Amino acid sequence: MVMFTRSKSAGIVLLGFVVTLLVVAALSHLAFYAVGQTLQMQQQIIRQQQIECLGQSLAAVVEQRPWPTVSTKWTLPEVILQPGQVPVQPLLNITLRPTVPLKSLEIQVQGEELDWRLQKLVVEPPGGASHSIYQTGIFASHGGSSATAQVEISTGGKSLPAVDSTGYSMYKRAFLPSMKDLHDYGLQEQLYATMTTRSVYKISANARIDGNGILYNDKSIIVGRRSRATGKLWLITLEDITVEDGVQLANVLLFARGNIKLGANVRLRGAIVGRTVTIGRGFRFESAPAVTQAFVTNLARK
């Protein structure tokens, strides 16, 4: 009788071959999974772009027509997103908050696996752009300068409009930016409001503030020495604003329910409203009434 036996070396070779097949199969499965995930992500990105385009189009239509005088909601016809024939339901919500005053346009797009909310704000300064303080205030409608010692000027604090702190916090796009975010990203045409710590907000010395934005804080605001801003900037607070020496703000609204102190060699263009305004040596101011016109934020995801 002839006996056939499997050598030890042949068994090892066969085992290695099987292991190799298993590894190749696993890698192939992983590759197909990765491709599938990539395709799914690409489809989601395409649909998100369609939602953003839809939001921009709806916002443009609303802005071309008179806004309603009361808060209003509309349910719009269903829209099909591609790829994948994904049905979504657009909702349009216009909210008015006269105490800010502010108008909010919110576009919500709902589907089986998504819920996107896009928001755009039209914000007026406290009391509204037509308030008399912006028409007749000494630092709202006239230029000025101080070549000698600092001077304190009363601006009629009793006539200052109220500030709706709850409204600013409710409709903010983000908390007040950190100095790193301010440096890296600038202001993104949005409303930024009080941090949860509710502390004094200070812009550090030598800061460069790029972009446009509204910065609201319950507590005082300080602009560090030699800081600069060229965009449209609103600083609004329930307390005081201090602008340190050498600051240059080219298109600014300073609004404080308390007092405003401006350091030496400060250059401002815009409007200044506070209970009192103290100006330092070498102060230069140019009135720019347009800065108090409505601030329109970017349409952004909530």
Among 125, 158, 186, give the residue marking a domain's end: 125
Residues 206-256: tens digit of each pLDDT? 999 999 999 999 999 999 999 999 999 999 999 999 999 999 999 999 999
Whether 302 is in a domain gets the answer no
Identify each DSSP E strand in 98-246 by its residue range. 102-111, 115-123, 144-146, 151-154, 174-175, 187-193, 201-203, 208-209, 211-217, 221-223, 228-229, 233-237, 241-243
For residues 180 and 252, state if they share a domain: yes
Residues 106-163: tens digit of each pLDDT? 999 888 778 889 999 999 999 999 998 888 766 765 555 655 555 656 555 558 899 9
Element (H, E) at 28: helix 8-63
Residue numbers of the domain that contains 52: 9-125
Whether 1 is in a domain gets the answer no
CA distances from 51 to 11, 45, 78, 122, 224 (A): 60, 10, 12, 21, 41
Distance CA 158, CA 16 (A): 89
Is the alpha carbon torsion for 242, 178, 173, 200 positive or negative? Answer: negative
Whether 2 is in a domain gets the answer no
Residues 57-88: tens digit of each pLDDT? 888 888 888 888 889 999 989 988 888 888 98
For residues 60 and 199, state if they share a domain: no
How many domains, the chain? 2
For residues 137 and 281, state if they share a domain: yes
Whether 4 is in a domain gets the answer no
Distance CA 290, CA 203 (A): 24
For residues 97 and 223, state if they share a domain: no
268: closest CA among 103, 140, 167? 140
Is the Cβ–Cβ distance between 255 and 275 less than 8 Å? no
Specify the pLDDT at position 191.
Answer: 97
